[in-house]
């Protein structure tokens, strides 16, 4: 079953925050996304799930404009990425927050200066306002008062939260998270889930999360898109995904491993194709 559009009850007047149509992506001669439709409504938390290599990161890179589609269109906040000029793209980037796996802090700066960085780079606000805004965002992620510490003085979970404070310091309307719980213990990971829910509720953000963590996905997602071999298998609510009779989806939910590729020739051929 494929439900390309959001299954949530959305007012007809609400323009999707993200609208992807027929997205194809290739690496060399190998196609890794096949006609992906992906549309996210204002205020929605969408989780993207799929096995390793299913195309989640590739989709994310197209959504934030790091890769250009071979075919299809990506519209964010009403802007068609392929048609936007440099200024329009810059304005758009300021309205988007990204929290990537490796999104570490700069170790030579205090936590407060790390959080303030986007404001110093992209705005002309005075230093006092910048300091107040950074501290407020540190409070949002439960790190109020930590602004003068160095990143090395924080735990792994605190570093993640500080990086999140930096990602939201410009009040983005749209946030992307890539594997937010990776490498975190279950308690810290659950705290981060809570934070993601708070961001949506308190700051009215629209949020896309790529994750392998089923527990986290079921806790935070309004809707889930399941990718498999570069295709959308389904977009639905948690209940719809759970009730799906698609074998691949059930494998994913029950953590059943996919058949291991044993055709060495095909594997080597693919590698050479990728290099070509
Ligand atoms: N830079 C690249 N060059 C060539 N092939 C790539 C590149 N990046 C990804 N691929 C291939 O594209 C396919 C999709 O990869 P992608 O990283 O988007 O999947 P994923 O679902 O994010 O995987 P994972 O969960 O393991 O991170 C995979 O087969 C991968 O090997």
pLDDT at 7: 58
CATH number of 1-95+209-276: 3.40.50.300
Q: Whose CA is nearest to atom 3 of ligand 1?
A: 27
Q: Distance, CA 198 to ligand 1 centroid (Å)? A: 31
Task: Give the nearest ligand 1 atom to 274 CA.
Answer: 4
Token pair for residue 178? 């890539």
Q: What is the pLDDT of residue 40?
A: 96
Ligand 1 probe mutation, 24, 25, 27, 274, most atoms within 8 A of CB: 27
Per-residue pLDDT of the chain (276 residues; tens, 9 = 90+): 333 455 555 555 578 999 999 999 999 899 999 999 999 999 999 999 998 889 999 999 999 888 888 899 999 999 999 888 889 988 898 899 988 776 678 999 999 999 999 999 988 999 999 999 999 999 999 999 999 999 999 988 888 889 999 999 999 999 999 988 777 788 888 888 998 999 899 888 999 999 988 888 989 999 999 999 999 999 999 999 999 999 989 988 887 666 555 566 666 666 666 655
Alpha-carbon torsion, ordered 83, 87, 89, 94, to 10 deg: -160
Contact 21, 219 (CB under 8 A): no
Query: Cα separation of 198 and 89, whole Å?
Result: 28
Query: Half-sphere exposure of residue 6, counting CA atoms within 13 Å on the CB side?
Result: 26
For residues 88 and 79, what is the distance between their CA atoms, to the nearest angstrom? Answer: 8
Query: Which residue, chain included where needed, has tokens 């590739």?
Result: 58
Residue 233: what are its φ and ψ, rounded to 5°?
-80, -40
Contact 230, 34 (CB under 8 A): yes
- The pick from 30, 47, 58, 229 for probing ligand 1's pocket by mutation, whose C-beta has the most ligand atoms within 8 angstroms, reads 58
Ligand 1 neighbours by CB, cut-off 6 Å: 27, 32, 50, 52-58, 274
Helices (H), ranges, the chain: 56-63, 86-94, 111-122, 127-140, 156-168, 186-203, 214-220, 238-243, 247-253, 264-275
pTM: 0.85
Would you state the torsion angle of the CA atoms of residues 225, 227, 233, 234, taken in this order, to the nearest 10 degrees? 0
Q: Ligand 1: which atom is nearest the Cα of residue 28?
A: 4
Each domain of the chain, given as residue ranges in start order, spans 1-95+209-276
């Amino acid at each position: 079953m494929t439900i390309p559009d959001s299954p949530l009850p959305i007012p007809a007047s609400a323009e999707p925050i993200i609208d992807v149509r027929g997205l194809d992506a290739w690496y060399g001669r190998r196609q890794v996304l096949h006609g992906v439709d992906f549309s996210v409504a204002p205020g929605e938390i969408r989780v993207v799930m799929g096995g390793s290599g299913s195309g989640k990161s590739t989709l994310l890179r197209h959504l934030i404009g790091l890769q250009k589609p071979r075919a299809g269109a990506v519209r964010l906040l009403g802007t068609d990425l392929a048609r936007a000029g440099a200024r329009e793209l810059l304005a758009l980037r300021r309205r988007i927050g990204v929290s990537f796996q490796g999104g570490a802090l700069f170790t030579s700066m205090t936590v407060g200066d790390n959080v303030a960085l986007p404001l110093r780079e992209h705005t002309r606000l005075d230093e006092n306002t910048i300091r107040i805004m950074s501290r407020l965002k540190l409070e949002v992620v439960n790190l109020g008062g930590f602004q003068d510490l160095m990143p090395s003085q924080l735990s792994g979970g605190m570093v993640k939260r500080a990086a999140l404070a930096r990602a939201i310091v410009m009040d983005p309307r749209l946030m992307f998270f890539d594997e937010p719980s990776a490498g975190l213990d279950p308690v810290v990971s659950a705290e981060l889930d809570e934070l993601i829910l708070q961001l949506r509720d308190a700051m009215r953000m629209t949020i896309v999360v790529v994750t392998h963590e089923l527990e986290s996905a079921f806790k935070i997602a309004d809707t889930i898109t399941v990718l498999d071999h570069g295709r959308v298998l389904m977009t639905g609510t948690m209940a719809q995904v759970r009730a799906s009779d698609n074998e691949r989806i059930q494998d994913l939910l029950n953590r059943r491993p996919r058949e291991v590729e044993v055709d060495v020739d095909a594997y080597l051929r693919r590698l050479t194709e990728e290099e070509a």
